[in-house]
Each structure stands twice: as structure tokens, then as C-alpha cells.
């Protein structure tokens, strides 16, 4: 069993980039921690729904303190390795750091909603397509937009610019191009460095960096892009199924998917008909909470 981390050690480990946790998740977790016998499985399920908490937890478990031979992306495994008291200390530390205005919470609900939906869709797609990297696919779905709340914190008009970016994401223009023109950076770059600070595996960080560069990635026919394509193909399908273009981008049409869909579907070996059926299955499973 791993040694329990003190609140002081948790605070030291969490120095640096921090994505605010979802208030309702914190409430549910705090209710669970006050139970006579807190259930680790329930805690893991709740933590895995929140990008900020999950990222902080993985940052700690992947640190030299624990000496794991390979960096992990499984939230359930991380919770089990850390133990209940250390996870509760982490939750309490994040609760203090994550206080936000009501207006910010309302705005970020769009981010939290799509993060959970896309993560669940990624995991289901990975299983259905026979991928061996289900945990990594889920992590990518959960973390791919983790730069959004950080951009919003820095630029008050960020969400309006992001909506414009999605509206302009037609052939020849990427979502991140509009952000770059306005801010000289974008949420994919910020997300990449956030994921790096959380000590996520390098190929997951690369997928976050390139998740709005999929057209160029899939247009490159070299085999060296295979690990990136494997993750990105699942993510781009999951984003479309989870309607990120509508929830985050406030658009009626998924311009990005229209541009990259033929290449992605060809890569995974699905026809449009097959994908439509798979997408409907994923939505049904999500609606039933499976």
C-alpha cells in the first residue's frame, strides 16, 4: 500500500497549472468522503468525470514519488494506488483552489459537459473498435479541451472567439487558426503543456496538441503517424458524436468533421453507413449511462 500523502505534500505537488474542478462533482465527492466508510469505486467514478481533478491525480501518481515504471492514464488505478485518504486530501485541496464566480461556472458548464460526453464516447468507441488503449482514449477525451478554461481565465472574451473559430473551421482554416490570430496561442497548445505538467504519457499529450490539426495528420501517409492517428481517429469521431461543435462551438454544422471524416473513416475502415450505426449505438449507451 502506498504511503498516505499529507495535505502539505498534496499542496506542493499541485503547484503550477490548475484546471478548476466542477463544483457539483466536488459536492458529490465531499458527501462521499463524509460517509463512515467512503467507497473508493464511487470516488474513482466521480473523479474520472472531472478533467481538473483527474489531471491533478495523475500528476501525483505519475510523479517520481511513486516510481511507476510507466506513466498511467487509468483514473481507477490511480485512485487505488493513492488510497482513499490521499485522494480525499487532493479533493479538499482542489476545492479550496477551485472557487469561481457563478458566471464562470455557467460558462464552464459547456466545457465540463462536453469533456464527460466525449470521454465516454472515446471509451466506448475504443472498445467497439478493438483498441487496446481504452484508458488512454478516455483520458484523451476527458483532457483534449483542458486548455479551454485556462484560456478563458486569461482572456475574458475567449468563448466568443472560440465560437467564431468553430464557425470559420471550414476547409483551409483550423479552429486554432482563429485563436492564434487573436491571442497568439490556442487551447490545443495550452492543453498540451497542461497535460505535460500533469505527466500524462507523451503520445496523449501529442494528440491533445494536434486535435485541431487532424486534417494534416491524416493527410500524412507515413507510418510514423500511426500512434497519433490511432488516438485522434477515436477522438474526432467522439467529438462529432458528442456534438462538441454545438456544445463548445455553438454551431449547427460540424465543419471540422465534414473536412476530416473521409480520411478518418478510411483509416479505421468504416463506411459512412457503418459509422452512423456506430454513432447511434454510442449515443444510446451514453443515454443509458453504460
CA nearest to 147, candidates 236, 55, 230, 63 = 55
Please give the tally of structural domains in the chain: 2
What the block records as the C-alpha cell of 25 is 462533482
Same domain, yes or no: 87 and 189: no
> Contact, 282 vs 141, CB < 8 A?
no
- Residues 142, 248: one domain? yes
pLDDT tens-digit readout, 224-245: 788 899 999 999 999 999 999 9
Whether residue 132 sits in one domain with residue 46: no
CA distance 254 to 264: 15
Query: How far is residue 95's CA from residue 12's CA, in Å, rounded to a whole number?
Result: 15
In this structure, the answer to whether residues 242 and 128 fall within a common structural domain is yes
Final residue in a domain of this structure, among 46, 72, 97: 97
| pLDDT value at residue 13 | 59
Q: What angle do CA 289, 141, 242 make, to 5 degrees?
A: 55
In this structure, is residue 2 part of a structural domain? no
Q: Are residues 112 and 91 in the same domain?
A: no
HSE value, Cβ hemisphere, 13 Å, CA-based, for 74 = 12
91 & 54 share domain: yes
pLDDT at res. 231: 95
CATH of the domain at 143: 1.10.3210.10
Tell me: do 281 and 239 sit in the same domain.
yes
pLDDT of amino acid 1: 42
CA distances from 159 to 129, 147, 156, 280 (A): 34, 12, 8, 29
Task: Please say which residue of 41, 65, 97 terminates a domain.
Answer: 97
Backbone angles phi, psi at 185, to 5 degrees: -165, 180
Three cell numbers written together for 169 = 473551421
H or E segment at 18? none
Give me the average pLDDT of each 10-residue run along the chain (290 residues).
Answer: 59 67 87 86 92 90 84 92 82 67 84 93 93 92 94 92 92 91 95 91 95 93 85 97 94 94 96 95 72
Q: What is the largest CA-CA distance in the chain?
A: 57
Helix pair 75-82, 84-97: axis angle to 10 deg: 110
Statement to judge: residues 78 and 183 lie in one domain = no
Final residue in a domain of this structure, among 97, 118, 150: 97
pTM of the model: 0.87
Give per-residue pLDDT as tens, 27-64. Answer: 898 888 888 888 889 999 999 999 999 998 898 898 88
Same domain as 253, residue 211 = yes
Helix, strand, or coil (residue 80): helix
- Residue 23 sits in the same domain as residue 166: no
Which domain range does residue 263 map to? 102-287
Q: Is residue 256 part of a domain?
A: yes
**Average pLDDT value for the chain:** 88
Residue 216 lies in a domain: yes
Amino acid at each position: 500500500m502506498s504511503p498516505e500523502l499529507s495535505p502539505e505534500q498534496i499542496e506542493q505537488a499541485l503547484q503550477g497549472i490548475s484546471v478548476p474542478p466542477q463544483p457539483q462533482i466536488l459536492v458529490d465527492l465531499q458527501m462521499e468522503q463524509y460517509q463512515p466508510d467512503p467507497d473508493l469505486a464511487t470516488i474513482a467514478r466521480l473523479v474520472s468525470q472531472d478533467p481538473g481533478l483527474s489531471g491533478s491525480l495523475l500528476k501525483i501518481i505519475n510523479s517520481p514519488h511513486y516510481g511507476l515504471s510507466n506513466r498511467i492514464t487509468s483514473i481507477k488505478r490511480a485512485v487505488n494506488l493513492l488510497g482513499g485518504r490521499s485522494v480525499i486530501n487532493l479533493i479538499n485541496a482542489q476545492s479550496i483552489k477551485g472557487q469561481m464566480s457563478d458566471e464562470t461556472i455557467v460558462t464552464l458548464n459547456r466545457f465540463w459537459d462536453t469533456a464527460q460526453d466525449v470521454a465516454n464516447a472515446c471509451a466506448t468507441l475504443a472498445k467497439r473498435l478493438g483498441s487496446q488503449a481504452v484508458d488512454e482514449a478516455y483520458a484523451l477525451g476527458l483532457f483534449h479541451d483542458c486548455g479551454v478554461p485556462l484560456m478563458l481565465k486569461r482572456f475574458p472574451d475567449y468563448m466568443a472567439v472560440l465560437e467564431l473559430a468553430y464557425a470559420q473551421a471550414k476547409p483551409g482554416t483550423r479552429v486554432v487558426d482563429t485563436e492564434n490570430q487573436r491571442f497568439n496561442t490556442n487551447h490545443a497548445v495550452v492543453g498540451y503543456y497542461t497535460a505535460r505538467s500533469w505527466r500524462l504519457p507523451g503520445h496523449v499529450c501529442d494528440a491533445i496538441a494536434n486535435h485541431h490539426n487532424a486534417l494534416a495528420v491524416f493527410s500524412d501517409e507515413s507510418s510514423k503517424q500511426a500512434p497519433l492517428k490511432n488516438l485522434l481517429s477515436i477522438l474526432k469521431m467522439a467529438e462529432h458524436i458528442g456534438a462538441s461543435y454545438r456544445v463548445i462551438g455553438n454551431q449547427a454544422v460540424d465543419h471540422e468533421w465534414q473536412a476530416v471524416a473521409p480520411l478518418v473513416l478510411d483509416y479505421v475502415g468504416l463506411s459512412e453507413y457503418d459509422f452512423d450505426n456506430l454513432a447511434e449505438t454510442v449515443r444510446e449507451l451514453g443515454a443509458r449511462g453504460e
